[in-house]
Amino acid sequence: MQTRDRIYIDGAWVPSAGEGTIEVVDPATEDVIATVPDGVADDVDRAVAAAKAAFPSWSETAREERAKYLRRVAEGLEARRAELAEVLAHELGMPLKQAAAVQVGLPLRSFTTVADLIEVFPFEEQVGNALVVREPIGVVGAITPWNYPLNQIAAKVAPALAAGCTVVLKPSEVTPLCAYIFAEILDDVGLPPGVFNMVSGVGPVVGEAIAAHPDVDMVSFTGSTRAGKRVTELAAQTVKRVTLELGGKSPNIILDDADLEKAVTGGVAAAYANCGQTCSALTRMLVPRSKLAEAEAIAARVADSYSVGSPLAEDSRLGPLVSRVQHERVQGYIAKGIDEGARLVTGGPGLPDGLDRGFFVKPTVFSDVRNDMAIAQEEIFGPVLSMIPYDTEEEAIEIANNTIYGLAAGVWGGDAARAQRVARKLRSGQVNVNGARASEPTPFGGYKQSGNGREWGKWGLEEYLEVKALQI
């Protein structure tokens, strides 16, 4: 078992002021594989003080110099890709090859793209007789989730450092080990002391101390909508900027002229990514009623083809859910779907065949789901797909938008112009048309209770900047 007994403050690994520890559990075996410090508010005070002291110098560092540091971090991530993937497979449960490509590949891209961006970004512009200047906001508190732990760290830390901000990171207590490797990489590249700091611990202690701290100028939070509301309440007391990337219950509209085989196959994949533990997962599949039976048959065949097993096995497509708490939550929603009268197409409660240990879930598909059911309105965060029939295009749009969330959506259709027209009517921060993926960094974030602000690309960088007008 691995023991991590330090936190990272002011360029050094130091003991926590607290005496508690947090156990890290391998979700495939249910074994404790590591412990990390259970940080306290005093640790946050020290980390924020270090970040505040480092800010004046770092904020004035030339953009080209900041870009060099960011590229060195990317090189460090690449050098330790295999190690990080194995750690993530053990602490998160994502199959090893997927972890290397997604859980490490995306963070690496965050650092390289923002390094390129700041070398050309217009930090100053002339508007009449005024010089409009974009300056770093200050000390940033980054509070990150367990489902894409390294990716969400990079999505916050990379643009914050690029902007000239200093950072205090609280990684998820469920998947903290990759964050420790990340901190080692930042230490190795020689960042000035205090520019990056990390305090492990739980949200109600460390997270709340960061959100409430008067010397933290901004909080960037990714997690549940409930926790995001709490962060906002605490941050409001000092009127600091808050960006939130929260929950989703994202619709996937299959129009009547879509290629049904491609649409349903792609839709299942979009629902089951990371074992369904994805905030932007397309978990509500809206299908023309006349094609529902055919779509069900395709969905069942595709779902049943997803092999579930150890993250270290070559043939595993889905690993376990991240924790016992999450497993019990998802099993509860599956039972609730049955109780509410949804029709179980495949999957269902209990462990998959051949598995008697670990937090595994059967890939599950429900049909004849009404949009007022809990499985259609509440974020499940597991491999559970709800198929909802509709009769008209207008009804499909109404159902899609009838949720408190607005993070992501999908539209499939044979007529590209029609599909785009429908996509424009969806109240979501991003919409994939016919399974398309962005070729360049595009803004990621949500409408409604899916959050405030955007990550990635120039939009993510702008979140960490204040705007000043110099009248000359």
398 catalytic per annotation? no
Supply φ then ψ for residue 329, to 5 degrees. Answer: -65, -50
Q: How many CB atoms lie within 10 A of CB 309?
A: 20
8 Å CB contact between 11 and 194:
yes
**Is the CB of residue 38 less than 8 Å from the CB of residue 200?**
yes
Catalytic residue among 91, 173, 245, 296: 245
The answer to whether the Cα torsion of 118, 119, 124, 125 is positive or negative is: negative
User: Which contacts of 437-441 are long-range, i.e. CB under 8 A and separated by 24 or more positions?
Assistant: 441/109, 441/113
Q: Which two tokens stand for residue 468?
A: 């000043």
Q: Determine the distance from the C-alpha atom of residue 467 to the mean position of all C-alpha atoms in its chain, rounded to a whole number.
A: 27
| 3-state secondary structure (DSSP) of residue 128 | coil
Mark whether 245 is an active-site residue. Answer: yes
Q: Which of 279, 379, 455, 463 is catalytic?
A: 279
| Cα 374 to Cα 406: distance, rounded to the nearest angstrom | 17
Task: Write the DSSP symbol of residue 192.
Answer: P
What crossing angle do the helices spanning 81-91 and 177-188 adopt, rounded to 10°?
160
How many angstroms separate the Cα of 136 from the Cα of each of 57, 167, 369?
A: 12, 12, 47
| Alpha-carbon gap, residue 41 to 39, rounded angstroms | 7
Point out the residues that are catalytic: 245, 279
